[in-house]
Amino acid sequence: MKMNIPNQLTILRMLLIPAFVACYFYIENPLIAGIVAAVLFAIASLTDMLDGKIARKYGIVTNFGKIMDPLADKALVFSAFLMLAVKIEALDGIMIWACVIVFIRELGVTSIRLVCASSAGNVIAANFFGKAKTVTQMACILIVLIEHALIASGTINLGAFNYLASFILIAAMSFMTVASGINYLKIYMPYMNTNK
């Protein structure tokens, strides 16, 4: 099967996941590790924006893209949050809670989405709340990566205000994740009811 450009970008995003995780764990210099991981993560995030725009512009939205694009996003975000929770001791408490929120929301929405798609043929593309959630999650990961790299390398030291930007972004991301989960639940409930 010939893959169109949006779907190729989705697959590229999946391939970038092990690359940025490996760089973050195996590059010894924390500043370089954080910057390289942030750049690779930003490229992976950019493919998410591009594949959707290209698909809509040229009318090549496919069911494969509707399913695999959000799955690729979730794999990217899951990997990043797990990586940060394991690597950054200063944020491990709040990061673990953020991971729980993200995992429950993503797994729940994806499960409902797949059930609706397989049993009733209803494949619903991401809406504003879903896209806003994705943007805040990716922005959060980038900020945490960069802020930790600067602090761990000694480039900056704000004392009591270390990781302030990370805490703010994690809180905003958690709120948006919960809000979008509730929104999707409302959208999918009618489809779930028809499958009873």
**How many whole angstroms separate alpha carbon 62 and alpha carbon 74?**
19
End-to-end CA distance of the chain: 35
Residue 27 DSSP symbol: -
Where does residue 180 fall: left (phi above 0), alpha (psi -120 to 50 degrees), or beta otherwise? alpha
Most distant CA atoms of the chain, gap in Å: 58
CB 77: neighbour CB atoms within 10 A? 25
**How many whole angstroms separate alpha carbon 166 and alpha carbon 142?**
9
Could you read off the pLDDT tens digit of each residue along the chain, which spans 196 residues? 467 888 889 999 999 999 999 999 999 999 999 999 999 999 999 998 888 788 778 888 777 777 788 788 888 998 999 999 898 888 878 888 998 999 998 888 877 777 776 665 566 666 788 888 888 999 999 999 999 999 999 999 988 889 999 999 999 999 999 999 898 888 777 766 654 4
Residue 154, H or E segment: none
- Residue 62: the pLDDT is 73
Query: Residue 59, exposed/middle/buried by CB under 10 A (0-12, 13-18, 19+)?
Result: exposed
Query: Residue 84, exposed/middle/buried by CB under 10 A (0-12, 13-18, 19+)?
Result: buried
- Please give the model's pTM, rounded to 2 decimal places: 0.84
Which is it for the CA torsion 71, 75, 76, 77, positive or negative? positive
CB 84 within 8 A of CB 91: yes
The CA distances from residue 40 to 6, 76, 116, in Å, are 18, 11, 33
**How many whole angstroms separate alpha carbon 69 and alpha carbon 180?**
17
Question: Domain containing 159 — which CATH number?
Answer: 1.20.120
- Residue 194: the pLDDT is 56
Q: Which is nearest to 113 in space by CA: 58, 76, 73?
A: 73
Residue 91 DSSP symbol: G
When divided into structural domains, the chain yields a total of 1
Domain range for residue 9?
5-194
| 107 token code pair | 């797994």
